[in-house]
């Protein structure tokens, strides 16, 4: 799949799905179905039009591109969203972007999609334009609730990763470089690979999770992962994602690690002493192994 900035787009007829698509969840996938091009925005438009109120993102642009590419889309076109672009009218978006730049013959959006200055453009405006065919996709419901990025963010922040993965269509993922910590896990018999949560990203709520972790060589390992601040110790390191990879022996520092969250095992809590912590960590590891085996 090609990734193209809007100013660099080559002219050709396109079947375009338009949206922010944070998370590329099941509802987004309905909108994208049948499109050869996905048009999206970076950064998130709210960060430009209402700075300080932007949501914590489920996916980086790189992860979004990976997910979109997995749906068979030929090209991801990215609008570098800024103040100047936000001032464009809805009609200018139709004339200059969808028709002028992209040559859209078909346009697919969700029923709640709005665009243009002050979000004045609507699916009805798209339908009224005879230069392309418009497909408006109803909001998808699962278990009686609308599947939305905001709903999934709430699930992730609340630790409901198993259900969040169901709505996303695959497990929630955190990627990042392995950083140096205080090496305390090694002294306890559970050496961890530490990731610092990305600024502005949606990070799972504090607790211990059964996960899979992919190392830089592409190998997957079962992992028991703690997200939090390690209340048993006064480390001063702040929030970390600490992954203990089962049956792994090697140096992961300064390499990239992908953590795929399966389910929450328990909340993060303070232990009376180190022995009690180590005993619980042993139980966490075995439970993580059992969860990963059941999920495979």
pLDDT digits (tens, 9 = 90+) for 74-118: 999 999 999 999 999 999 999 999 999 999 999 999 999 999 999
What's residue 231's pLDDT?
Answer: 54
Decide which of 136 and 231 is more confident: 136
CATH level 3 topology of 171-295: Elongation Factor Tu (Ef-tu); domain 3 (2.40.30)
Answer whether residue 150 shows pLDDT above 80.
yes
Where are the CATH 3.40.50.620 domain residues in the chain? 2-145
Answer whether residue 185 shows pLDDT above 60.
no
What's residue 187's pLDDT?
Answer: 60
Please identify, in words, the CATH class of the domain defined by 2-145.
Answer: alpha beta
Where are the CATH 2.40.30.30 domain residues in the chain? 171-295
Q: Give the 3-state DSSP-derived string for the chain, with helices as H, strands as E and coil as C.
A: CEEEEHHHCCCCCEEEEECCCCCCCHHHHHHHCCCCEEEEEECCHHHHHCCCCCCCECCCHHHHHHHHHCCCCCEEEEEECCHHHHCCCHHHHHHHHHHHHCCEEEEEEECCCCECHHHCECHHHHHCCCCCEEEEECCCEECCEECCHHHHHHHHHCCCHHHHHHHHCCCEEEEEECECCCCHHHHHCCCCEEECCCCCECCCCCEEEEEEEECCCCCEEEEEEEEECCCCCCCCCCCEEEEEECCCCCCCCCCEEEEEEEEEEECCCCCCCHHHHHHHHHHHHHHHHHHHHHHC
């Amino acid at each position: 799949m090609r990734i193209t900035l809007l100013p660099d787009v080559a002219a050709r007829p396109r079947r375009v799905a338009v949206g922010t698509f944070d998370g590329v969840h099941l509802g987004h996938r309905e909108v994208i179905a049948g499109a050869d091009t996905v048009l999206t925005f970076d950064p998130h438009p709210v960060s430009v039009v209402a700075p300080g109120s932007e949501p914590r993102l489920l996916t980086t642009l790189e992860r979004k591109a990976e997910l979109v590419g997995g749906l068979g889309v030929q090209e991801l076109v990215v609008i570098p969203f800024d103040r100047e672009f936000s001032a464009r009218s809805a009609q200018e978006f139709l004339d200059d972007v969808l028709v002028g730049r992209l040559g859209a013959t078909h346009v697919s959006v969700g029923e709640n999609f709005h665009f243009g200055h002050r979000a004045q453009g609507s699916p009805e405006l798209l339908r009224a334009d005879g230069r392309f065919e418009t497909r408006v996709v109803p909001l998808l419901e699962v278990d009686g609730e609308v599947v939305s990025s905001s709903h999934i963010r709430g699930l992730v922040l609340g630790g409901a990763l198993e259900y969040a993965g169901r709505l996303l269509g695959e497990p929630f993922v955190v990627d990042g470089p392995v950083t140096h910590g205080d090496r305390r896990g090694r002294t306890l018999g559970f050496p961890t690979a530490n990731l610092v949560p990305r600024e502005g990203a949606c990070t799972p709520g504090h607790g211990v999770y059964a996960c899979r972790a992919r190392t830089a060589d592409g190998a997957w390992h079962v992992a028991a992962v703690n997200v939090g601040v390690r209340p048993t110790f006064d480390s001063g390191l702040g929030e970390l994602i600490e992954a203990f990879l089962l049956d792994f022996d090697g140096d992961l520092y300064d390499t990239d690690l992908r953590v795929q969250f399966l389910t929450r095992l328990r909340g993060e809590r303070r232990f009376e002493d180190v022995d009690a912590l180590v005993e619980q960590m042993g139980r966490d590891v075995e439970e993580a192994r059992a969860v990963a085996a059941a999920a495979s």
